[in-house]
Amino acid sequence: MKYPLRIASLSSVALLATLAACSGDSTGPSLGTRISVSVASVDDPILYEDVPGEPRIRCAVTFRAAASGGVRATWRDASFKFFMGPNRTTAVDTLTFSAEEIGGSWGSSTLSDGQSVESAWVFHGNAPFVVAATYRYSPSGGNSVAEATTRFACGPEPSANSPLPTISDVSVAPPWDGLEPGDVLSVGYTINAPLGIWAVVIELSGACQSFVEFSEQLQTTVSRTRLVQMPADCALGVPLHVTVYAVDAALRFSSRAVPGPMLVDHTPPIIDVGFFPPFGGSLTTNIRGTYFVRDTMELVVWSSDNNVVRWIDYEILPSGIRQSVEVTPAFGDRLRLVLPPEATGAIQVRLVARDAQGLTSAPYTTRPDSIHVYPTVDRPTLQTSLDNRVEDIVIDAERGAIYVMQWGVIRVLSATTLQTIRTIQLPYVPNSLDFTPGGDSLVVTHETGLDVIDLRQETPVLSRFPLVLDTSVMQRPGRVVVMANGKAFVTLGGNAPSASVLLEVNLATGEQRVRADAADASGVTVTGVMQRSPDRLAFVFHGGPGHFRRYDATTDQFTPSGTTVQMSGGGFLSVAGSGPYTAFGRLIYDGSLTFVRRVESVWGDANLGVPTALSTDGEYLYIGGRPGLMRSRVSDGKIVDRTMNPIPAHIFRVAGDDSFVVTATQSGPTELSLIRMR
């Protein structure tokens, strides 16, 4: 068997070059100059370890050179051959140095007759070695090259009758029964080697393959007990074999094998778990969150064992769902749990790691009431693509028409098929639209005024409705809502605060007036967001903190000014068709616009910009975005369910009879979907 000690090439470094003596005449002709090189001194070897268990040896040597028989000689290159092992007739490595380097090591590129100089070197190896040095030089007066040689030994040199190492008293210490992978094995031995013990190697084979090397510092006799840790992947039920190798200074070795124990496994694995929050965030061990059926809970499982982990078993409580995942290189540390329909309500996840022997870790169980799963409902859904960005949508559920406002056009879609049934080209870019209570006309605002479009004709007829605008402040129409009393309310804005007013237009008589009673204490309305109820009996506008107002079409009055709006709820405004509720984002207000509650959402508090809309009956708040259309109950704020939506919802509107919801994208490809709620 080949000795398993790792052997690298030797290296040598010229640490010092000094001129030890100088004599003789350096002038005049001379022939036949000769140089002799000898070893002036060799320090005792120094034994050390660059890496624990891997012995190395270092020797410092001083060479002496002397010239005779001529005026001077010029140094050429030099080579150093290295020999190790039992056969020291063949070099294992050779190092060559240039004439410039050699001249530098002696202190001069020439050596004169009668002169003697010294050069100090340090040599390193990973086993005792011999160096044969050959210096080349040219006698003065010619181009011929002569050689001067010498040698030295770093460490003991073997003789022809040097005995091999002997090994005795090899023992393997407890526990003989019950030894497990990863345990520490005690190996005792006594070794005698007259040439010096260079290293001892303990090899494990059979149940697992491993070897450990120990330096013995060239001692001739040692009795040791070494500790060897067994690899974690040692096979169970397979005998372990232990072999001790003794290597002497000439790299000759002897070996002694003894039987080892049969490995068992009584130690269960351990497990720890973290996770990534469902809607973004950093890895954490605080496992909690809100999910829907078919969502994926992404866990990070850390497991280890003294042998090997084979399975991760998990259970979803209280549903009783159990699954096992085989631990393979492809598994990594990610465990993705797709939540089934049975796993609804407050759930806990219980995980254990199982090793190759079937031993299981202590269970890891998430905290009660930290994970909530809600149903996912599949509802009939239509989808279509549009060629321009959608700016606004209004729905006439009674006639099955969906009005989609785009750049320079109003597209009328069928609520049955989502097919385009009419296209109304406009000579301007519309700002807002609403249809009249009877559904026979559209009211459209634009940069310079307000138009009424008669839909009763086969070709829609557009009529200009002149508005009284203050051109000195560049007053322009913005949002429009049409109420059950036949009045249209138009927000006006311009380049001065005084331009921000709410204009009332009687569509039957053409009468117009600024509703000063909608303004704040400074006389400015600033209606940034405005939305009417589906029954057209009320609309609400939000003009900023302290200016949140509701209009009642029956009394033709606004609620008092000064109600403070909790701004963290979001920016989408909606009004229920019956009952008193208004929603601003996820914040619910009553008929007097007094804050009632915040409804739950899977988005948590990071919900600014997420579209919301109240159902017409005021029972639910719809919350859009990804990964679908969520419903929360208004009465208690609790999440109810989710409906899958094939598109991300940036705009959505609820039909006046709550029969369907229309959603549209406002980024990327323009998509529109219709989801039937009953």
pLDDT higher than 90, residue 595: no
Asked if 533 and 576 count as a contact pair (C-beta separation under 8 A), the reply is yes
* Omega prior to 175 cis, within 30 of 0: yes
User: For the chain, what percent of residues have pLDDT higher than 70?
Assistant: 91
In a domain, 57, yes or no: yes
Which residue from 58, 101, 48 is spatially nearest to 76, judged by alpha carbons?
Answer: 101
| 621 and 579 share one domain | yes
Q: What is the model's pLDDT at position 678? A: 86
| 306 and 436 share one domain | no
Both tokens of 142, joined, read: 């010619």
Q: What is the CATH number of the domain that holds 616?
A: 2.130.10.10
Beta bridge partners of 636: none
Q: What is the CATH number of the domain that holds 135?
A: 2.60.40.1470
Of 324, 359, 374, which residue sits at a domain end?
A: 374
In a domain, 516, yes or no: no
Both tokens of 359, joined, read: 């031993």
Q: What is the CATH number of the domain that holds 318?
A: 2.60.40.10
**What is the Cα–Cα distance from 246 to 398, expressed in whole angstroms?**
98
| 365 and 412 share one domain | no
- Find the mean pLDDT for residues 262-278: 89
| 370 and 389 share one domain | no
In a domain, 503, yes or no: no
**What is the Cα–Cα distance from 188 to 244, expressed in whole angstroms?**
9
| 297 and 401 share one domain | no
| 22 and 140 share one domain | yes
Confidence of residue 393 (pLDDT cuts 50, 70, 90): very high
Q: In what order do the strands lie in the sheet with 296-304?
A: 270-275, 296-304, 334-338
- Find the mean pLDDT for residues 412-430: 94
**What is the Cα–Cα distance from 410 to 405, expressed in whole angstroms?**
5
In a domain, 412, yes or no: yes
Asked if 171 and 60 count as a contact pair (C-beta separation under 8 A), the reply is no
Q: What is the model's pLDDT at position 332? A: 75
β-bridge pairing 371-374 and 289-292: parallel
* Cβ neighbours, 10 Å, residue 259: 11
Give the count of domains, the chain: 4
**What is the Cα–Cα distance from 515 to 490, expressed in whole angstroms?**
10
E-assigned strand segments in 566-637? 573-575, 582-584, 587-589, 595-598, 612-614, 620-623, 629-633
**What is the Cα–Cα distance from 249 to 450, expressed in whole angstroms?**
105
| 278 and 258 share one domain | no
Q: How far is CA 302 from the centre of its chain?
A: 16
Confidence of residue 571 (pLDDT cuts 50, 70, 90): low
**Digit-coded pLDDT (tens) for 449-491:** 999 999 988 888 999 888 989 989 999 999 999 999 999 999 9
Of 316, 340, 374, which residue sits at a domain end?
A: 374
pLDDT higher than 50, residue 19: no
**What is the Cα–Cα distance from 245 to 164, expressed in whole angstroms?**
12
pTM score, whole prediction: 0.69
**Digit-coded pLDDT (tens) for 122-180:** 999 999 999 999 999 998 756 789 999 999 999 999 888 889 999 999 999 875 667 88
In a domain, 114, yes or no: yes
Residues spanned by the domain of 279: 270-374
In a domain, 178, yes or no: yes
Q: What is the model's pLDDT at position 61? A: 97
Would residue 196 be called left, alpha or beta, if left means φ above 0 and alpha means ψ between -120 and 50 degrees?
left
In a domain, 6, yes or no: no
In a domain, 159, yes or no: no
Q: What is the CATH number of the domain that holds 184?
A: 2.60.40.1930
| 429 and 559 share one domain | yes
Indicate the residue type of 95.
L
Q: What is the model's pLDDT at position 605? A: 52
* Residue positions counted in the chain: 678
Q: What is the model's pLDDT at position 176? A: 62
| 390 and 366 share one domain | no
- Find the mean pLDDT for residues 214-236: 92
Answer with the residue of higher pLDDT: 242 or 8: 242
Confidence of residue 564 (pLDDT cuts 50, 70, 90): low
Of 216, 234, 262, which residue sits at a domain end?
A: 262
CA distances for 165 relative to 53, 76, 161, 245, angstroms: 19, 44, 13, 9
Confidence of residue 666 (pLDDT cuts 50, 70, 90): confident
| 323 and 423 share one domain | no
Helical ranges in 50-115 per DSSP H: 99-106
| 246 and 395 share one domain | no
**Digit-coded pLDDT (tens) for 177-211:** 678 888 899 999 999 999 999 999 999 999 999 98
Helical ranges in 395-513 per DSSP H: none
Q: What is the DSSP string of 261-312?
A: EEP---PPPEEEEEE--TTS---BS---EEEETT-EEEEEEEEE-SS-EEEE
| 35 and 139 share one domain | yes
